[in-house]
Structure 1
Amino acid sequence: MKKVILFLVDSLMPEILDDCRRHRTVPALNFLIERGKFWPDCVTVFPTMTASVDSSLLTGVYPDRHKVPGLVWYDPEKKEIINYINGLSTVWKLGIGKCARNVITNLNEVHLSKEVTTLFEELADRGKTSASINAIIHRGHKKHRVKLPFLLQVATRFQSYEDISGPEVLTLGALLDTDLNQQIPAHLQRATKMYGINDEYAVHVTRLLIQSGDQPDFILCYLPDNDHEVHRKNPAHAEAALIKVDHHLQEILNTFSSWDEAIEECVFIVISDHGQTRIGKSRREFNIDLDVLLHSFSMVELGEQPNHHDVVVCNNERSAYVYPLKPEIEKQLIDKLAADS
């Protein structure tokens, strides 16, 4: 039976792919499309944030069932804002250690519903092996030891972490104690390279697994760099970022004696989690100022403990969650928000 390699390319957009194909700048993607199938009209889940989308991808259910609604949300039971390292100033105010624990441990071990099963858990139950390379959702049956680089230990005040669960092979860049990191160039694991959460690291690990002679039945390889580039630039001109992704896919295909042999031995799947749309240059014209819109309500400030407040706002960049803390203000709050629509 063929092995499966799934590449999750953050913010891969079909219109950009079409442009690159016309210009003949993405030979690997073009090869896979010509030898396989291409579905450009896919719809992601809502909200389109990495944590919620990837949770749906790995569980097959929507956020209302897997219980991970976004990158930032409010837990009414614990009365705290959950943040998976989104927004530097926000993370600083909430506490770096708390946010780090949320994304490293709590996301998979606590927040992701135990009522749903991940793909890695299902594969293990069926006797299949799997690997998760830098994906944010990775819950599985095997325990892995967290070992943060020194600077991250300092930033999080040397807090300890419980072992986290994942498939047989799990990497989160340089954040885990794994033998694979000994085989990855050190410069790919530095702070300037997001401690290994980058395309080069992920591709290097994937190639090692292919060359090992013991390739897992399923590999999920997360490629985040395209998203970073698209955020920095106009999404309509993201060809250069996708060309870099294609170079990485060429590296993977070149691991085999030929590209034809690669698709004979493995099933290659390339997917996106969401796209991006340019909304304009004017912040005043396109942004919704919730501070102004909800000025009549008492809002919880970042770092504050909800007490006698009216509202908690969790900003997810292109969307926001607004939580009324008092039932009697719910209709008034909805009317205020609707007035801006």
Structure 2
Amino acid sequence: MKNKPVILLNIDSLMTYPLEIAIQTGRAPALQFLKENGTYFNNMVSSFPTMSVTIDSSLLTGTYADQHHISGLSWFDTSKKEIVNYGTGFRETFRLGTRRSIHNMLYRLNNEHLSSNVSTIFEELANRDIPSASINSFVYRGNTPKKLKVPGLFKTLTHFKDGEWIMEAPPVLSLGAFSKLKPLNFTFQVAAGNNKYAARELIYLIRKNRLPAFAFCTFQDLDFRIHLKGPLDIKGITRIDKQLQKILNVYSSWDEALRKNIWLIMGDNGHSATHTKYKESVIDLVKLFKQYRIAKLERPIHRKDQFVFCVNQRMSYIYILDAMLEETKIVDRLKRDKRIDVIAWKEENWIRVESPLKHGSLHYRPSEEVLDEYDQGWKVRGEMDILDLRMNRDGKIAYGDFPDALARLYGALHAQPGRFIVVNAKPGHEFKAQLTPYHLSGAAHGSLHRQESLVPLIIAGTNEKPVFPRMIDLKEYILRLI
């Protein structure tokens, strides 16, 4: 029997509690149908930082950042001594250089930054002569040369001759105005499409009988609403559900949609509600280290610069350029701010973790001394409470407030070479450096905390399950289904 096509619908910032409220109150009938006729997980572990480009990279490669090398929406390339930014906010992007940020997102992300030592689902399927599709995802590396074209008005904002470039992509690629499937489909978003656009592209494939063995489709609008309105916004879920209803209605019945396809519907990250007052909410790293020389966004790195800050909303990388500065001295200053809950850095071949909220330190590294609940081996010394770790009845490490923290922190700290510290904010707070955007009275993500790290997953059309409920386990699961 021919395997059914797998359709993975990635709903940016879909969270467990508001999803369940929307379903219980009858405002999401399509999601309710899929949930009641499938398998439901409310604790799928995301990647770290919990930012879309890192999450999609982990999902599509089955690895954390130490292997795929996409450190976040903002990170520092130590080899080229430049800040890599994929578009954290207009003011910051403008100061860094709009053309450079756009080039990072459109070209370098897939062609240079995503490690060649890992393979995406699209690449592995292509090696087996199995077709696939990517709709609306900025991480899409595959094996098929595709010409992408920038709309005329925006050609001057790119580095491409005549606004065109060739990328290795899946056989079927949709990326807003740059590459679309349905000829008359239109979106006001240039770089990608809104929810209606994404749904129309998927419906077009189904109606034209062009649906490949695997289709990855991202719905992005919900994230923007939650940043402004807070994590309990239900209206955004209701709007997405209407698009899902249109997709299911292409079939003679919703039951037929399950008979013909396997459906995976997931969130990629959660959000933490932020305070209403700037002084309570925002951790300003520039002020915290005001007596040091901090690299400026608008100019190249100077030999006298001591720090580079790369903020990913509720987490940040602090890169140490001054060889005379010791990590412990920097950590002591960070520990003065009780709005920070995790501080981690590499110390020889260990990871060292401390917290302004708890005494002592934790050291760990990969080893076979003790397994965690995901059967990963570690050697752990010191205060396990710093990362809310405990030993379960099976003698394995179990996680509390920071899901899969050992592997995810290790991944972030080994994503790039160089000396740097990872800092994580308590829920309700976020970091700022120079022109970083912040979200008062709204919500933000990026951190290691369970609020942003645990997301829902619905599987319908099959009884097969992933080995573990983690983003990095979905690649093996999808390839097994196909």
Which structure 2 residues correspond to residues 94-105 of structure 1 after superposition, within 5 A? 94-105=96-107
Q: Could you say what secondary structure the match of 2:40 adopts?
A: coil
2:150–2:164 contact (8 Å) kept in structure 1: no
Match for residue 317 of structure 1 among 306, 313, 316: 313
Match for residue 172 of structure 1 among 171, 175, 189: 175
2:7–2:215 contact (8 Å) kept in structure 1: yes
Match for residue 252 of structure 2 among 250, 257, 263: 257
Match of 1:219 in 2: 215
Percent of counterpart pairs with the same letter? 36
TM-score by length of 1: 0.94
How far did 1:63 drift?
A: 0.7
In the alignment, does 2:36 pair up with 1:34? yes
Structure 1 pair 144–330 and aligned structure 2 pair: CA distance change class (3 A): farther
CA distance in 2, matches of 1:135, 1:157: 21
Match of 2:112 in 1: 110
How far did 1:86 drift?
A: 1.6
How far did 1:232 drift?
A: 1.5
Match of 1:183 in 2: 184
How far did 1:220 drift?
A: 0.5
How far did 1:229 drift?
A: 1.1
CA distance in 2, matches of 1:145, 1:203: 23
Match of 1:278 in 2: 273
CA distance in 2, matches of 1:169, 1:149: 20
In the alignment, does 2:124 pair up with 1:137? no
Structure 1 pair 298–195 and aligned structure 2 pair: CA distance change class (3 A): closer
Structure 1 pair 66–282 and aligned structure 2 pair: CA distance change class (3 A): same
How far did 1:181 drift?
A: 4.7
Match of 1:244 in 2: 239
Q: Could you say what secondary structure the match of 2:262 adopts?
A: strand
1:51–1:137 contact (8 Å) kept in structure 2: yes
In the alignment, does 2:234 pair up with 1:231? no
CA distance in 1, matches of 2:108, 2:192: 21
How far did 1:196 drift?
A: 4.4
Match for residue 333 of structure 1 among 330, 335, 339: 330
Q: Which structure 2 residue ranges, 5 or more long, are not aligned?
A: 338-355, 357-482
Match for residue 299 of structure 2 among 297, 304, 328: 304
Q: Counterpart amino acid of 1:247? A: K
How far did 1:280 drift?
A: 1.6
Normalized per residue, which structure has more strand?
2
In the alignment, does 2:117 pair up with 1:93? no
Q: Counterpart amino acid of 2:293? A: S
How far did 1:119 drift?
A: 0.6
In the alignment, does 2:79 pair up with 1:77? yes
1:21–1:30 contact (8 Å) kept in structure 2: yes
Match of 1:210 in 2: 206
How far did 1:317 drift?
A: 1.9
CA distance in 2, matches of 1:315, 1:197: 26
Q: Counterpart amino acid of 1:272? A: G
CA distance in 2, matches of 1:327, 1:335: 17
For residues 229-249 of structure 1, give each alpha carbon's deviation from its aligned partner in whole angstroms, at most 9, with x where no partner exists: 11121212x110000111111
1:8–1:221 contact (8 Å) kept in structure 2: yes
2:67–2:115 contact (8 Å) kept in structure 1: yes
Q: Counterpart amino acid of 1:165? A: E
TM-score by length of 2: 0.67
How far did 1:199 drift?
A: 1.0
CA distance in 1, matches of 2:52, 2:159: 27
1:67–1:113 contact (8 Å) kept in structure 2: yes
Q: Could you say what secondary structure the match of 1:203 adopts?
A: helix
Q: Counterpart amino acid of 1:333? A: I
How far did 1:324 drift?
A: 0.4
Q: Counterpart amino acid of 1:280? A: H
CA distance in 2, matches of 1:96, 1:289: 24
Match of 2:419 in 1: none
CA distance in 2, matches of 1:201, 1:330: 50
Q: Counterpart amino acid of 1:265? A: K
Q: Counterpart amino acid of 1:267? A: I
In the alignment, does 2:261 pair up with 1:266? yes
Normalized per residue, which structure has more helix?
1
1:101–1:161 contact (8 Å) kept in structure 2: no
CA distance in 2, matches of 1:124, 1:250: 31
For residues 271-301 of structure 1, give each alpha carbon's deviation from its aligned partner in whole angstroms, at most 9, with x where no partner exists: 1110111032122112111111111210011
1:47–1:70 contact (8 Å) kept in structure 2: yes
Match of 2:156 in 1: 154
How far did 1:111 drift?
A: 0.3
Q: Could you say what secondary structure the match of 2:14 adopts?
A: coil
Q: Counterpart amino acid of 1:202? A: A
2:7–2:264 contact (8 Å) kept in structure 1: yes
CA distance in 1, matches of 2:107, 2:113: 9
2:136–2:198 contact (8 Å) kept in structure 1: yes
For residues 34-91 of structure 1, give each alpha carbon's deviation from its aligned partner in whole angstroms, at most 9, with x where no partner exists: 1101101122111101111110010000011110010011001111100112210111
How far did 1:161 drift?
A: 5.1
